[in-house]
Structure 1
């Protein structure tokens, strides 16, 4: 896939993250905006007194498609994604130095998106790879993470590439 097409695709996937961050900042009170964003949840599970939003049918359908288990990432890193046994639709994402409690968010692109809004973490699952991003700092925390199904899809893309995002046929060239 050409780099420009990949950049366009990633910018489309990431853009809802930035707009949601700005929208959530606008809704917060001035006192909340002065406090620093909390870091990732440490090894303990969140207290049950915490308000938990029940999942709708769309979110539960997304949760059913999430690849779970130990996922190897680039540079020898690994993450572990597991379902919260007590709350259907919620997941724990563990890695070296972090643990997030994620929930599905509906997207228009078809990508699977899990968020921990408190920590500003976003997990994006595409057909061929997954990545973890920090919305607050605007950087990737883990990239090229892949479940066995994603690895197989990536291999099939090499032998049978998808059509180009920017079709240049019929443009007088």
Structure 2
């Protein structure tokens, strides 16, 4: 009895395998001949034109308080030269006082300036996507969503001038440099081994 069931299943599988190619070709055979005879140019004209997506809506900016306006005055405006021959341009927001626009490649980020407790100036993207940090010797642009630096070693001409002055001061006053190193060290002086 088991043998007859297996033989019947094998026969059904064989019939199904031979019928599948015919079933696959059946819809193509039913298609009207006129559909394939249309010229390609005519169908190209009937295709809808691709529309460019509308630009993102400009974020609504709250009025800046005195602290934010003071922070915006500390931002270095203008062009920055960055690593890998990249550049970024920073300017005041054209419509709302106390905000900064950071232009990089074809993107413009509207930033809210915030002074940090360390003295660094944080330019926080109002959409929460990016962050630019300005410290004494460089600036960097970060993507906060993926946690990566987009730009590093960005130097404004004013930052370059301040670094040159600091370097010249160290060369001219080696005692001040030694005192600064002592203040920043752990207070451990290495000695030669016995």
Provide the TM-score with structure 2 as the length reference.
0.58
Residue 69 of structure 2 is aligned with which of 49, 57, 60?
60
**2 CA distance for matches of 1:93 and 1:82?**
7
Show the counterpart of 2:85: 76
The aligned counterpart of 1:41 is none
Structure 1 residue 102 and structure 2 residue 111: aligned? yes
C-alpha contact 2:125 2:131 (8 A) present in aligned 1: yes
> Does residue 130 of structure 1 match 2:136?
no
Q: In 2 relative to 1, CA 46–89 (structure 1 residues): closer, same or farther, beyond 3 Å?
A: farther
Give distance in 2, aligned partners of 1:160 and 1:135. 37
TM-score by length of 1: 0.65
Gaps of 5+ in 1: 1-43
- The aligned length equals 127
Q: Larger Cα Rg: Structure 1 or Structure 2?
A: 2
| 8 Å Cα contact 1:100/1:119 also seen in 2 | no
8 Å contact from structure 2 (residues 110, 126) kept in 1: no
Q: Corresponding residue for 2:186?
A: 168
Q: Secondary structure at the match of 2:122?
A: strand
Deviations 1:9-41 (A, max 9, x none): xxxxxxxxxxxxxxxxxxxxxxxxxxxxxxxxx
Give the alignment's Cα RMSD to 1 decimal: 2.2
Give the unaligned 5+ runs of structure 2: 1-54, 171-176
Q: Single out whichever of 146-155 and 156-165 deviates more from structure 2.
A: 156-165
Match of 1:147 among 145, 156, 163: 156
Contact in 1 for aligned 2:112/2:126 (Cα 8 Å): no
Question: Are the counterparts in 2 of residues 113 and 122 from structure 1 also a CA contact under 8 Å?
Answer: yes
What secondary structure is seen at the aligned counterpart in 2 of 1:60? helix
Q: Deviations over 1:103-151 (max 9, x none)?
A: 1123111111111142421111111111111111111111111111100
Q: How far has the Cα of 1:166 moved from its partner? A: 3.8
> Which of structures 1 and 2 has the larger relative contact order (alpha carbons within 8 angstroms, sep 6+)?
1
Question: Of Structure 1 and Structure 2, which has the larger fraction of its residues in helix?
Answer: 2
Q: Name the structure 2 match of 1:89.
A: 98
**What is the alpha-carbon distance in structure 2 between the residues aligned to residue 126 and residue 103 of structure 1?**
16
Conserved in 1, the CA contact under 8 Å of 2:83 and 2:154?
yes
CA contact (8 A) 1:115 1:123 kept: yes
User: 3-state SS of the aligned residue for 1:150?
Assistant: helix
